[in-house]
Amino acid sequence: MTRLHDPSVHTFASDNYAGAHPEVLQAIVDAAGGHVGSYGADPYTQRLSEVVVETFGEGAAIDPVLTGTGANVAALQALTPRWAAVICATTAHVYTDEGGAPERLGGIKLLTVPTPDGKLTPELIDRQAYGWGDQQRPQPLAVTITQSTELGTVYSPDEIRAVTDHAHSLGMRVHLDGARLANAAASLGVPLRAITRDAGVDSVSFGGTKNGLVLGESVVTFSEEARAGLVYLRKMDAQLASKMRFVSAQFLAMLDGDLWLRSATRANAMAARLAEGLAALPGVTVTQTVDANAVFVVLPREAVEPLRAAHHFYDWNRATGEVRLMCSFDTTEAHVDRFVEDARALIG
């Protein structure tokens, strides 16, 4: 095959733009030979089940899937009956960036709450947590939070525990969209279980592609009740991989060791370096706390398009001029410093 891209190109558009980590690619190669069972009846998926217990604690189970949208839809379906509604932030990925899949495919009504930093609190949840028994209102039976959030902020373990305790006291379950869970744990300096199982979360959409996998996400659950139906829902939602060993092998490369932490730590550190460099320039405002691997910033208008042409990134709020810059496991100091220097030359 002829290579069709320039591998030296690096952008700040999304951590989805990054390629695959070499250790992940090697795991795929190691899993490739011979015949093994399909649809999860293979030694890699079985080993992954053991590693997930080692990582998240007793009672944890993992169901590999193909996409993050599929993980969120299946996880929320497994937690809720047909008449349920799910409370989320207005900036939540499940609401803004999944083509309506939770509602159109999952049949789940989303009840949104505005937040200043992407994070829900018990008080914010209460704005939508009402109407139980009212046959004309979708029943709020679950809450979904995002870690790290779409605004790049991170919940502390105590903040998650406050959400889960409050939701559970109201009879609601809690799902966590963890597409960037590794970045949040690395930022906090805690194990993955500290911001999931130990904080009272019922299920997690645990991401892989944003942290160096080729493809593949997963649903991690912490009880039989939270996992009920997932074995059927994966197939119904077109998320059951026939050659599941290749998804599982990638997660093994990430979890059976410290690759998840090394990759996330690098991405976070580069975001912090980028924010620091840009904040020192005149006319630049960093708009959100840089907790993980995202930098939200308002740049002088005359600098935006030249910088976008050289480094590629997306607008977040065109009305205010706010843009989003994402760092990845393969972002280097040279990439960051080049962006800052180009910005300095343009802003002058």
CATH number for the domain spanning 187: value is 3.40.640.10
Q: Is 169 strand, coil or helix? A: helix
- Which of 240, 255, 270 terminates a domain? The answer is 255
Q: What is the pLDDT of residues 289-325, one digit of tens each?
A: 999 999 999 999 999 999 999 999 999 999 999 999 9
Q: What is the pLDDT of residues 224-278, one digit of tens each?
A: 999 999 999 999 999 999 999 999 999 999 999 999 999 999 999 999 999 999 9
Dihedral, 20, 25, 26, 30 alpha carbons, nearest 10? 150
Domains in the chain: how many in total? 2
Whether residue 165 sits in one domain with residue 69: yes
> What is the average pLDDT score of the chain?
97
Whether residue 204 sits in one domain with residue 125: yes
Residue 169: band (very low, low, confident or very high) from pLDDT cuts 50, 70, 90: very high
The answer to whether residue 16 sits within a structural domain is: no
Q: What is the pLDDT of residue 343?
A: 97
Indicate the pTM of the whole model. Answer: 0.96
Task: Give the tokens for residue 332.
Answer: 């280097």
Q: What percent of the chain has pLDDT over 70?
A: 100
The answer to whether residue 247 sits within a structural domain is: yes
Whether residue 236 sits in one domain with residue 250: yes
Whether residue 272 sits in one domain with residue 173: no
The answer to whether residue 242 sits within a structural domain is: yes
Whether residue 265 sits in one domain with residue 185: no
- Tell me the residue type at 163: V
Task: Give the tokens for residue 148.
Answer: 């790290």
Residue 133: band (very low, low, confident or very high) from pLDDT cuts 50, 70, 90: very high
Strand 84-89 relative to strand 139-146, pairing:
parallel
| Count of CA atoms in the C-beta half-sphere (13 A) of 225 | 9
Q: Is the pLDDT of residue 348 over 90?
A: no
Q: Is the pLDDT of residue 219 over 90?
A: yes
Count of C-beta atoms within a 10 Å radius of residue 82: 7
- Which of 192, 225, 255 terminates a domain? The answer is 255
Mean pLDDT of 195-209: 98
Asked if 24 contacts 217 with a C-beta cutoff of 8 angstroms, the reply is no
Whether residue 149 sits in one domain with residue 297: no
- CA 45 vs. chain centroid, Å, equals 21
Q: Is the pLDDT of residue 98 over 80?
A: yes
What domain range is 315 assigned to? 259-347
Whether residue 224 sits in one domain with residue 150: yes
| Termini Cα distance of the chain | 45
Q: What is the pLDDT of residues 171-185, one digit of tens each?
A: 999 999 999 999 999
Whether residue 324 sits in one domain with residue 222: no
Q: Cα(282)–Cα(260) distance, rounded to whole angstroms?
A: 36
Q: What is the pLDDT of residues 44-62, one digit of tens each?
A: 999 999 999 999 999 999 9
Whether residue 171 sits in one domain with residue 91: yes
Picking from 263, 216, 220, the residue whose alpha carbon sits closest to that of residue 66 is 216
Q: What percent of the chain has pLDDT over 90?
A: 99
Whether residue 83 sits in one domain with residue 32: yes
- Which of 236, 255, 274 terminates a domain? The answer is 255
The answer to whether residue 8 sits within a structural domain is: no
